[in-house]
Amino acid sequence: MRHDPRGGRRTFVVDRVILALGNFPPRHPLIKNRVALQSGRYVRDPWAQGVLAPLSHSDNVILIGSGQTTVDLVVALYKRAHEGRIVVVSRHGLLPLAHRGFECYASFFPEIKDSKRILDIFRTVRKHLDRAKAIGIDERAVIDSLRPDTQMLWLGIPTDEKRRFLRHVFRYWEIIRSRIPPESEAIIATMRDSGQFNVIAGRIRDFVETEAALEVHYIPRGRTTNEVERAVLVINCVGPESNYSEVDHPLVKNLMERGLIRPGPANLGIDAQPNGAIIGRDGASSDVLYTLGSTMRGVCGR
């Protein structure tokens, strides 16, 4: 360890550095009124401690995104005996499926292992989903049959095809692959039946803050005109920012500017070798800088 007499900073000299950066807050919605993002009624970080503390039992809540974080917050509100409306707005309006016990489905990886086009892979998966349904096997078993080979499949797909998958197919894959507990599914069903909980498929256009609420302006899927939902609190649950060129963190920005790291394939995480060795702007693999975990999503398809 070295001390810098000019600024009182300490420098560590090491042989290897592993960037274990975890998850960064979600990206903001692309809205016109950027000032509204500073509102106390808008929460960017759904994992922040006490995120639900400002709510009274009758307050309406809007959750942006419909993944596992949204489900966790809905369950937390239910356990708090929350009585206000809970509205979810997401592009597809699809919640994750629940865990189930079901018969296994034989792997069909050999049929797609050499495929380079997402459309070809999608058609094969669709064929097997239909076949499983016809013989009474749960669709989740079809996706599970590919789990051991997902990384190998992802590594073989060109970057443009990875982007196509993320744009058109990822959400449908994710709701089957990344599941919620049956207890959470039952709670959501109860809240839906009572009318307290509602999921809207749509694209958010703007926020407008009033004295009593934050208005979320959105265009429902398949329509062209704006609609509005109002809530005391709007929580961003779209998932952690994974495009490192957009991450607003001093270490990440410094490493990007110096070319020591670059965004991963399809702008997911950090570019690296499968063993975690980071690839810099010049395309060379480092023998000093490594990463692991969520930063490897673009490389390993996790």
Please tell me the predicted confidence (pLDDT) of residue 8: 60
8 A C-beta contact, residue 262 and residue 295 = no
Q: Which domain holds residue 77?
A: 34-97+179-236
Q: Give me the DSSP letters along 65-118.
A: --SHHHHHHHHHHHHTT--S-EEEEESS--PPPBP---------HHHHTT---H
Q: Are residues 121 and 223 in the same domain?
A: no
Q: Are residues 139 and 42 in the same domain?
A: no
Please tell me the predicted confidence (pLDDT) of residue 2: 53
8 A C-beta contact, residue 42 and residue 36 = yes
Q: Are residues 266 and 119 in the same domain?
A: no
Instruction: Look at the chain and report how many structural domains it folds into.
Output: 3
Q: Identify the bridge partners of residue 206 per DSSP, sorted by sequence position.
A: 217
Q: Which of 29, 74, 36 is nearest to 55 (CA)?
A: 74
Q: Are residues 146 and 135 in the same domain?
A: yes
What's the whole-model pTM score? 0.86
Q: Are residues 114 and 215 in the same domain?
A: no
Q: Are residues 188 and 169 in the same domain?
A: no
Q: Are residues 170 and 113 in the same domain?
A: yes
- H/E run at residue 188: helix 182-194
Distance in angstroms (rounded) separating the CA atoms of residues 187 and 254: 44
Please tell me the predicted confidence (pLDDT) of residue 192: 96
Please tell me the predicted confidence (pLDDT) of residue 250: 94
Q: Positive or negative CA dihedral for 151, 125, 69, 210?
A: positive
Q: Alpha carbon 172 to chain centroid distance?
A: 13
CATH code where residue 54 lies: 3.50.50.60
Query: Phi/psi zone of residue 276: left (φ > 0), alpha (ψ -120 to 50 degrees), beta?
Result: left
Q: Is residue 102 part of a domain?
A: no
Q: Are residues 216 and 72 in the same domain?
A: yes
Q: Is residue 2 part of a domain?
A: no
Q: Are residues 93 and 228 in the same domain?
A: yes
pLDDT in tens, the chain (302 residues): 455 555 567 788 889 999 998 889 999 999 999 999 999 999 999 999 999 998 999 999 999 999 999 999 999 999 999 999 999 999 999 999 998 888 899 999 999 999 999 999 999 999 999 999 999 999 899 999 998 998 889 888 998 999 899 888 888 888 888 889 999 999 999 999 999 999 999 999 999 999 999 999 999 999 989 999 999 999 999 989 999 999 989 999 999 999 999 998 888 899 999 899 999 999 999 999 999 988 888 887 65
Q: Is residue 6 part of a domain?
A: no
Tokens of 73: 């917050």
